[in-house]
Amino acid sequence: MNYNIAVIPGDGIGPEVIEQTVLVLDKIGEIYGHNFNYTEVLAGGCAIDKTGEPLPEKTVEICKSSDAVLLGAVGGPKWDNLPGDQRPERALLGIRKALGLYANLRPAILFEQLKDACPLKPEIIGDGLDICVVRELTGGIYFGEKGRKDTPMGEAAYDVEIYSVEEVRRIAKHAFEIARKRNKVLTNVDKANVLESSRLWRSVVIDVAKDYPDVTLNHMYVDNAAMQLVRNPKQFDVMVTTNMFGDILSDEASMVTGSIGMLPSASLGGNIGMYEPIHGSAPDIAGEDKANPIATILSVAMMLRHSFDLEKEAAIIEDAVKKVLDQNYRTGDIYSEGQKLVGTKEMGRLIIEALC
Ligand code: NAD
Ligand code: IPM
Ligand code: MN
């Protein structure tokens, strides 16, 4: 079978983690007889440097005509002083919007082997953690009206948080469907004690819940949720939340899994899915062969599962990652004394070796 994948290496550590991920996918293709064809496209800072814009039209066209999109990371200090609409990050938002990817799945799983890397006490993590953060991805404050204006206090700027009933309904349904296939507990995270948009959000989630009587729904304010994630993360099964709150809570949840370098994501909702680690371009370690490629490698496992229905192949990648961790190989972000410290390339090579 042929699969066409648009590959966006992006900036910073993006190309480093993508390189290893593509090698993993190539090996899966070789073992199981699939043809993964890659079209590398420009987005982010490197696109600004080569074409003058963060998201060239050609990139969107190629993504739209592919079977799935794989992305490393975009952004970096070099482009930090550009106006908002010309920044590398615009590329990411533009692709999400263009492909209609409103549902962002960020599974935070603490592998048995990484209990040492989790900063929480053993009695808090118990026998492990498995949380799925479902983040709304094409609405809210990221996409609401924004601008600058003069006020009696001088120059001011604003970003509007806005959600329609329909936007909330579709992400809520998505989250309930996921919860139904897991432990059937959904925590809605909002700020309904203050924000009108959150009050609408919560009322729609409650309405959607009528179709899912088998799923237990509870509600939590975002400030409490941030605290509960480190106080008692085991209480969570699936969390559903807005674009902004999901961005923040998933970075926090990633640390509970040992490192942000471990957390993959799938962006779904349109015809084509996009898969990317939740971390950024990590300018502080870029080009040093230090980045953990596992989040991106696990993202491609999500691609095989969600876009191509290749469950067996997805599970083989996840098992290979666990095998390498079992052998005590670690990149710097998940390393503790006595383990074997390896770089990005070596981690990739070990995972490929473990696939066979
Ligand atoms: P970041 O996620 O890039 O880095 C935060 C910290 O985590 C850094 O210390 C970094 O070294 C570490 N880290 C991240 N990924 C790692 C990995 N795979 N292995 C080991 N360590 C890792 O966040 P930031 O520093 O806030 O952002 C840097 C740039 O990336 C910014 O321009 C930001 O806008 C962009 N960004 C892009 C994406 C994306 O493309 N999806 C996501 C987040 C941030
Ligand atoms: C993420 C990133 C992006 C976001 C940025 C780079 C636009 O932080 O994917 O988590 O905020 O969605
Ligand atoms: Mn983020």
CATH code of 135's domain: 3.40.718.10
Residue 348 has pLDDT above 90, yes or no: yes
Q: Is residue 142 part of a domain?
A: yes
CA 106 – CA 135 distance, rounded (Å): 8
What three-state secondary structure class fits 119?
A: coil
Residue 190 has pLDDT above 90, yes or no: yes
Q: Which residue has the tokens 């950024």?
A: 280
Q: Are residues 95 and 140 in the same domain?
A: no
Q: Is residue 213 part of a domain?
A: yes
Average pLDDT, the chain: 98
What's the DSSP call for residue 53? S
Pocket around ligand 2 at a 6 A CB cut-off: 75, 89, 92-93, 247, 278, 280
Cα 81 → chain centroid: 25
Number of neighbouring beta carbons within 10 Å of residue 207: 13
Q: Is residue 92 part of a domain?
A: yes
Q: Is residue 125 part of a domain?
A: yes
Q: Please tell me the residue having the least CA distance from ligand 1 atom 4.
A: 282
What three-state secondary structure class fits 210?
A: coil
Residues 246, 318, 272, 269, CA torsion sign:
negative
Choose which residue among 71, 142, 260, 275 to substitute to test ligand 1 binding: the one with the highest number of ligand atoms within 8 A of its C-beta. 260
Q: Are residues 287 and 238 in the same domain?
A: no
Tell me how far CA of residue 277 lies from CA of 47, 176, 334, 348, in angstroms. Answer: 20, 23, 16, 15
Any ligand 1 atom below 6 A from CB of 89: yes
- pLDDT tens-digit profile of 212-259? 999 999 999 999 999 999 999 999 999 999 999 999 999 999 999 999
Q: Are residues 200 and 73 in the same domain?
A: no
Q: Is residue 113 part of a domain?
A: no
Q: Rounded to the nearest 5°, which phi and psi values hold at 223?
A: -65, -45
Any ligand 1 atom below 6 A from CB of 292: yes
Tell me how far CA of residue 34 lies from CA of 26, 28, 331, in angstroms. Answer: 9, 8, 30
- pLDDT tens-digit profile of 318-329? 999 999 999 999
For residue 136, the surrounding DSSP H or E stretch is: strand 129-136
The partner residues of 212 in beta bridges, in order of sequence, read none
**How many residues are recorded in the chain?**
356
pTM summary value: 0.98
Any ligand 1 atom below 6 A from CB of 87: no
Tell which of 218, 240, 256 closes a domain. 256
Instruction: Provide the token pair at 273.
Output: 């899915």
CA 167 – CA 20 distance, rounded (Å): 36
Q: Are residues 147 and 207 in the same domain?
A: yes
Contact indicator for 343, 294 with CB cutoff of 8 Å: no
Check whether 223 is labelled as a binding-site residue.
yes
Which-ligand-closest: CA of 45? 1
Spacing, Cα 206 to ligand 3 middle (Å): 27
**Maximal C-alpha separation, the chain:** 67
Tell which of 212, 233, 256 closes a domain. 256
Q: Is residue 42 part of a domain?
A: yes
Q: Are residues 26 and 78 in the same domain?
A: yes
Provide the pLDDT for residue 17: 99
pLDDT band at 356 (very low <50, low <70, confident <90, very high): confident
Spacing, Cα 288 to ligand 3 middle (Å): 22
Spacing, Cα 279 to ligand 2 middle (Å): 8
Average pLDDT score over residue span 117-124: 96
Domain membership of residue 87 as a residue range: 1-102+262-356
Spacing, Cα 242 to ligand 2 middle (Å): 13
Spacing, Cα 265 to ligand 3 middle (Å): 11
Average pLDDT score over residue span 195-220: 98
Which-ligand-closest: CA of 298? 1
Q: Please tell me the residue having the least CA distance from ligand 2 atom 1.
A: 278
For 347, residues 6+ apart whose C-beta sits below 8 A from its C-beta are 20, 292, 293, 294, 324, 329, 331
What is the domain count for the chain?
A: 2
Of 85, 129, 24, residue with least CA distance to 353: 24
Residue 271 has pLDDT above 90, yes or no: yes
Q: Which residues are catalytic?
A: 142, 191, 223, 247, 251
Contact indicator for 198, 190 with CB cutoff of 8 Å: yes
Tell which of 231, 256, 281 closes a domain. 256
Check whether 330 is labelled as a binding-site residue.
no
Q: Are residues 92 and 156 in the same domain?
A: no
Q: Please tell me the residue having the least CA distance from ligand 2 atom 8.
A: 247
Contact indicator for 105, 266 with CB cutoff of 8 Å: yes
Long-range interactions of 82-86: CB distance < 8 A, separation 24+:
82/48, 84/146, 86/48, 86/53, 86/54
Number of neighbouring beta carbons within 10 Å of residue 295: 25
Residue 296 burial (10 A CB sphere; 0-12, 13-18, 19+): buried
Check whether 309 is labelled as a binding-site residue.
no
Choose which residue among 92, 97, 135 to substitute to test ligand 2 binding: the one with the highest number of ligand atoms within 8 A of its C-beta. 92
Cα 152 → chain centroid: 41
Cα 73 → chain centroid: 11
- pLDDT tens-digit profile of 151-179? 999 999 999 999 999 999 999 999 999 99
Contact indicator for 201, 190 with CB cutoff of 8 Å: yes
Q: Are residues 273 and 225 in the same domain?
A: no
